[in-house]
Structure 1
Amino acid sequence: MWADRFYASDSRNSRRLRAMYAGGAGNRTARRFARLWATVFGWGLQPKRWVTLEVAGRASGQPRQFPLGMADLRGRWYLVSMLGECAWVRNVRAADGQAVLIRRGRRPVRLVEVPVTDRARIIQRYLAQVPGARPHIPVAVDAPLADFERVAASTPVFAVHDRVG
């Protein structure tokens, strides 16, 4: 598959993609792509797993948008942070999980952080479904589950729940 070659951890493309997020924050190019993809994902032009997350900024309280790919496993959807501790993760925690997923409309959700011990299979599924994350999570997509367990503590994962009330 082309994505396996394009996103291989030793490829020139992967090195460029990792460089766009040096230090865990996107550079100017990454921010431009994020704005573009947030718009496209919000329109719902991509498959269901591609969404725009909107969450209140932890300092400003203003809405912040992040284009993200979700993983589905056993009938449940998850958001996984390919960059580890990053802005959207800190914002979700500060907002007590209250957020909105945008895709052909707005869906209020509550994001619940998954315990480290339960993350490995979700991260494995995420890498299989979201090839753009592969350069950022140091595990081969076909690695044994034990390799995913080793990165689970540094890879935040949130279960997506519909917000009631």
Structure 2
Amino acid sequence: MGSDRIRPPWWLKHVNKVMILLNRTGLLKDGPVVLVVTGRRSGQPRSVPVTPFEVDGHRYVVGGLPGADWVRNAQANPKAEVLWGRRREPVRLVELPVEQARPLLRQFPVLVPTGVSFMRNAGLVTGPHPDEFEALAGRCPVFRFDSV
């Protein structure tokens, strides 16, 4: 998996910190939430803003950069928390097999339009084309949030 890893843009860490702070205020009603996963080496909580989407009553999130640390942490320990302002929800992240991920990735550009430019800038897609997103199955994992 290491060879498929994409370096995050230099600004991502800074933007993530701002999004995490904004989330804590409770002012963001829609859009990103903070996902807290356990570091696979440190065992410490690691926070990252993610934008979940809903299909057929289930919530999902796409690992937008192949090899991202939060993805590898979630793969190592699927217990996590979702934070909305001061509200915390324990979840289990279930990574979907490629065949189940494909139709969800097709819907991603419509359901999470803000994710399209991020993935385009990372060189993963050229635009909001469902076929291009579906082709990311196996590279960009899709996780389902299961309540615990």
TM-score normalised by L of structure 2: 0.82
**Are 2:105 and 1:123 aligned?**
yes
- CA distance change for structure 1 residues 119 and 44 in 2, over 3 Å: closer, same or farther? farther
**Are 2:125 and 1:138 aligned?**
yes
TM-score normalised by L of structure 1: 0.74
Please name the residue that 1:4 is paired with.
none
**Are 2:55 and 1:85 aligned?**
no
**Residues 34-91 of structure 1, C-alpha deviations (whole Å, 9 max, x = no match):** 0110122344322344210001111111111000101111111001111122111001
**Structure 2 portions without partners, runs of 5+:** none
Deviates more, 1:122-131 or 1:56-65: 122-131
| 8 Å Cα contact 2:108-2:133 kept in structure 1 | no
CA distance in 1, matches of 2:140, 2:24: 25
Consecutive aligned runs of 4 or more in structure 1 exceeding 4 Å deviation: none
**Are 2:140 and 1:155 aligned?**
yes
Max Rg structure? 1
How many Å apart are 1:32 and its aligned residue?
A: 1.0
| 8 Å Cα contact 1:121-1:148 kept in structure 2 | no
State the one-letter code of the partner of 1:31: K
C-alpha RMSD over aligned residues: 2.0
- CA distance change for structure 1 residues 139 and 76 in 2, over 3 Å: closer, same or farther? farther
Q: Percent identity?
A: 30
Please name the residue that 2:37 is paired with.
55
**Structure 1 portions without partners, runs of 5+:** 1-21
| 8 Å Cα contact 1:113-1:158 kept in structure 2 | yes
Please name the residue that 2:80 is paired with.
99
> Helix, strand or coil: the match of 2:22?
helix
